[in-house]
Structure 1
Amino acid sequence: MAAELLSPLLPRRRRGLAVAAAAPLLALLLVAVIFFRAPLTTTVSSPERVDLTLVAGAREKGAVCLDGSPPAYQLRRGSGSGAHNWLIYLEGGSWCNTTQSCYAQTMSNFGSSKFMRPVNFSGILSKDHLENPDFYDWNIVYVRYCDGASFAGDAEGEDLDGTKLFFRGLRIWEAVVDELMGKGMDNAKQTLLTGCSAGSLAALLHCDNFRGRLPQEVPVKCLSDAGFFIDVKDLSGERSIWSFFNGVVHLHNIREVLPKDCLQNKDPTECFFASELIKSISTPTFILNSDYDVWQIQNILAPNGSYPGQAWSSCKADIRNCSSTQIDVLHGFRKKLVSKLKVAEDKRNWGLFIDSCFTHCQTPSNISWHSPVSPRLDDRTIAEAVGDWYFGRRQDVKLIDCEYPCNPTCSSLLSTA
């Protein structure tokens, strides 16, 4: 199972949040003119590279990556009116559910800081106010992901050859927050905890804990981007994602971060899914997700290439290749995802932006976050909707798209698989 699951897409590895190479420039300009309210500009800011910082004293705290190396983050200081505001972004990446797959991750930046290099800041991380109108001047922290379990575990293990492995995501989370508090976050005036994919799930897991670390008068909110993984049967009738998460939860000893009320009635693995987590989160939270999330379709709904009567490889690679029968199946997946979001839809002070784009992780890209060709709901980009929700500029920012292919503003994201 571990070998079949693909790594959730990361901002620096995405194959094309830019428009498909074959799309004519004229078509792009027409889309921009029609769907972007601001004047069209050809200026695109260069992504910013921020130095890597290793967490001080991490080894002494046992707050280490899978291989025992210290965890890391990238911090860009805020300025002006944003000098005391903090945005914490938890990196996404793959989970590991066996000692073998966790050992394999120690050979990469997902399991060791030895392999980490600075990533570029764009989208919600950007310092360009045109690209990131509400958070551009905040303190931005990009927390690197190297524990294999959404910053949630606390255990140790050994690979088959005796190599020691450290499942210390929870300690990494605590050590990073402690260090940032000492760097000025204890005097924060506004904060936002967010992340992408596995990092987005981590933001949900730690949302209330983060709220509790700061004074009650400080506004604290959370934003989940592409972390709403749902427990559904795949096309062969198996609960493959449940089985995979079950391995993650038990190998990494993920229990302390799970909602206590959920654990009283359900298996810990069920409590690791976002649909259960959101029932217990009291901190205002914004759910950003595609209801045709490409990673979930490729790894949860159709983890194999072929099923009786249907070949799915081409459809999984590009939704435009799907047959009418396959589209009906995807609509069924969408219906289940939207139904599980009803809890968030009913919560006061929560927000939603659920588009029908075939994509995964939309906040770290300048194209999808806020650009002339960004996806839109209610004539708002993701950045505008999130800003309206965070700052209370509009009431009840809960936007759910119609079925694919109804939204023409998704056209620039059709090649993100």
Structure 2
Amino acid sequence: MIMLSLSLLKVFLVISLPNIVFGDGLNWKHIVSPLNGMALENKPREPPSLTANIQNIPSQLWAFEDDGVLRNKDSLHCLEADGFMFSEVRLKPCDATDIRQQWYITKADGLDNFIIVSKEWNLVLTVKEKGMEEGTGVWLEEYEIADHKLWNILDQEPETKVADKNMLLRVSLEAYPGAVANDGKSAVYYVQTDITHESKVLIYLEGGGLCVPSEGQQTCEKRCTNTPYYCTPPEDLFKDIRDSKKYHTIWNPDPIINPAFHDFAKVEVPYISSDVYSGTQDANPQSENYCFHGKYIVSAIFEDLITNTNITKAKQVVLMGGSAGAFGTESNCDLLADMLHAASPTIDVRCISDSGTMYPWNVHTDGCDPYALMKNANKAWAAVGDASCELDNPEDHDPCLSINTAFRYIDTPMLILMSAEDTTIRRCTNNEASFWTRWREELAAIGRLVVEERPDIGLYIANCPYHVATGNSVVWSQLQISVEGGHEGETILLKDLIYNFVNDIGPIHAIDNMDSYNQNCYHL
């Protein structure tokens, strides 16, 4: 940390006044900490604080006016210093005559950064380094030149990368014409900004349901209106993985919490095609004028990573996805392996499907066929599944729609994670206890068939109602599941089973007792 203490603060302020920036009226700028790359933001009903997702939005834009007040564009309130009791900063209605709202913004001697100084208190705006708001809060401290007291004043959204293993940077796929979201805009993905010693990569496909054009409650117009973030690329330049539920599982850097992936570089793929990463359908009236280009998006991401990163030098690459991302993992697993092996044949490629297409298709209510619904969706999307499966079934792609049968065509090592009663992936069901007994029994039977035919495929089925294990810390580290084929009473945690699968050791098959819920389900 830079520590260049100075004295005679009032003299310093006087001689530094010519360096004040902003003094040209309402010239809106970002105020960004070089310590962590986070921007000062006005958040509703909260004190001003720092955010990792730097954008050209009003809440993150500030203007230093000629009278010394620091105005926020969103609220049009001004930053006020309270150095009397708690050294706090807050936003209040602007009053240029109130000295608590008057600031000096001046360059630090010998540096390109700025110091923001309260005229009333002679204290400087500082990134909090202690307490619950460590790294994200701001307050006032005595003057000294130190990393957490310096600021960058930026005209627009910064395009430089932040070197932080917790921060992911948005990468545009505009160079790939087919890689577009439902609304036709270029897709994006996120990659870790600081990759130094990592020799392994985890690519995660986000989930989020699906839509089928003109199909009842699942119309795409409704989806894209009510949840537009599933249909258009995100604008956030950065993503902080600490804001994600996955930070308690696959994104966590602690090898005790996350033995399998704590030392992996991270790539995250936003889900913006609504077609479980399988579609090739252009926009037309029958598609409600939405594009379904999920297959093109994942293909472009794989190609971009191979072309513009060092992924081909990795020792291991794991493709993983949850929910719709699990569907996409199953259908694109061999595609990734083939593309990587064409560039580097020795890379160890593996795939993990978390809450995907393993499904008891024969258990459903009368007059409702979930498999037919899935076939209709794939037809509407012009979906493309696993290449070898479709090549072997050119007239009828039915065997390729679900991992129940498609597992026979997947060459890349795969691990399948399922809840015995998935709370989201369920169609044509009722509330009768006997129905769910049959559901669980058939799912377990499907799993055992997969393991019998392909013992190289890992399997985990927990008898707890939930959806997506990687977003649930209880499922990740508290559910002990019986090891299939193990000794009497042998159990395993999900995090340890995944470690075994990734490292090609130990048991990789676990199926819970289907007669009753796991004893730790009540923690969910």
SS of the residue corresponding to residue 75 of structure 1 reads strand
Q: CA deviation at 1:247?
A: 2.3
Q: CA RMSD in A?
A: 2.9
Indicate the residue corresponding to 1:357 in structure 2: 464
**Contact 1:69 / 1:112 at 8 angstroms: preserved in 2?**
yes
Residues 130-157 of structure 1, C-alpha deviation per residue, up to 9 Å, x if partnerless? 3212211211111111111111111113
SS of the residue corresponding to residue 224 of structure 1 reads strand
Residue identity opposite 1:174 in structure 2: S
The 5 A counterparts of 1:191-210 are 191-210=317-336
Q: 1:102 to 1:132 in 2, by over 3 A?
A: same
Residues 97-133 of structure 1, C-alpha deviation per residue, up to 9 Å, x if partnerless? 1157223333411111157794624211222333212
Indicate the residue corresponding to 1:217 in structure 2: 346
The 5 A counterparts of 1:8-407 are 50-58=167-175, 60-76=176-192, 83-99=198-214, 101-107=219-225, 108-114=228-234, 118=239, 120=244, 121-122=246-247, 123-159=249-285, 164-181=289-306, 182-214=308-340, 215-230=344-359, 232-233=361-362, 235-255=364-384, 257=386, 259-260=388-389, 264=393, 267-296=396-425, 299-302=426-429, 312=431, 326-346=432-452, 347-370=454-477, 373-377=478-482, 378-394=490-506, 396-407=507-518
Q: CA deviation at 1:328?
A: 2.6
Q: CA deviation at 1:95?
A: 1.4
Q: 1:245 to 1:355 in 2, by over 3 A?
A: same
Q: CA deviation at 1:327?
A: 2.7
Q: How many Å separate the matches in 2 of 1:262 and 1:232?
A: 24
Residue identity opposite 2:383 in structure 1: I
Indicate the residue corresponding to 2:519 in structure 1: 408
Higher relative contact order, chain-length normalized (CA < 8 Å, sep 6+): 1
Q: How many Å separate the matches in 2 of 1:77 and 1:276?
A: 39
Indicate the residue corresponding to 2:64 in structure 1: none
Q: CA deviation at 1:269?
A: 4.5
Q: What's the TM-score once normalised by structure 2's chain length?
A: 0.59
Q: 1:132 to 1:91 in 2, by over 3 A?
A: same
Residues 253-289 of structure 1, C-alpha deviation per residue, up to 9 Å, x if partnerless? 1135454357627733552112122121111111111
**Contact 2:481 / 2:512 at 8 angstroms: preserved in 1?**
no
Residues 152-177 of structure 1, C-alpha deviation per residue, up to 9 Å, x if partnerless? 111113357x9632111111001111
**Contact 2:171 / 2:191 at 8 angstroms: preserved in 1?**
no
Q: How many Å separate the matches in 2 of 1:167 and 1:258?
A: 18
Q: How many Å separate the matches in 1 of 2:194 and 2:476?
A: 20
Residue identity opposite 2:445 in structure 1: S
- The structure in which a higher percent of residues are strand is 2
Q: CA deviation at 1:295?
A: 1.9
Q: 1:110 to 1:258 in 2, by over 3 A?
A: farther
Q: 1:387 to 1:80 in 2, by over 3 A?
A: farther
Q: 1:247 to 1:52 in 2, by over 3 A?
A: farther
**Contact 1:109 / 1:115 at 8 angstroms: preserved in 2?**
no
Q: CA deviation at 1:219?
A: 1.0
SS of the residue corresponding to residue 321 of structure 2 reads strand
Residue identity opposite 1:55 in structure 2: S
More deviation, 96-105/357-366: 96-105
Q: CA deviation at 1:212?
A: 0.9
Q: How many Å separate the matches in 2 of 1:143 and 1:127?
A: 20
Residue identity opposite 1:367 in structure 2: V
Indicate the residue corresponding to 2:149 in structure 1: none
Q: What's the TM-score once normalised by structure 1's chain length?
A: 0.73
Residue identity opposite 2:201 in structure 1: W
Indicate the residue corresponding to 2:30 in structure 1: none
- The sequence identity of aligned pairs, in percent, is 21
Q: How many Å separate the matches in 2 of 1:327 and 1:163?
A: 39
Runs of 5+ consecutive residues of structure 2 not aligned to the other structure: 1-134, 136-164, 483-489
Residues 74-94 of structure 1, C-alpha deviation per residue, up to 9 Å, x if partnerless? 22257665x120111111111
Residue identity opposite 2:451 in structure 1: E
Q: 1:403 to 1:86 in 2, by over 3 A?
A: same
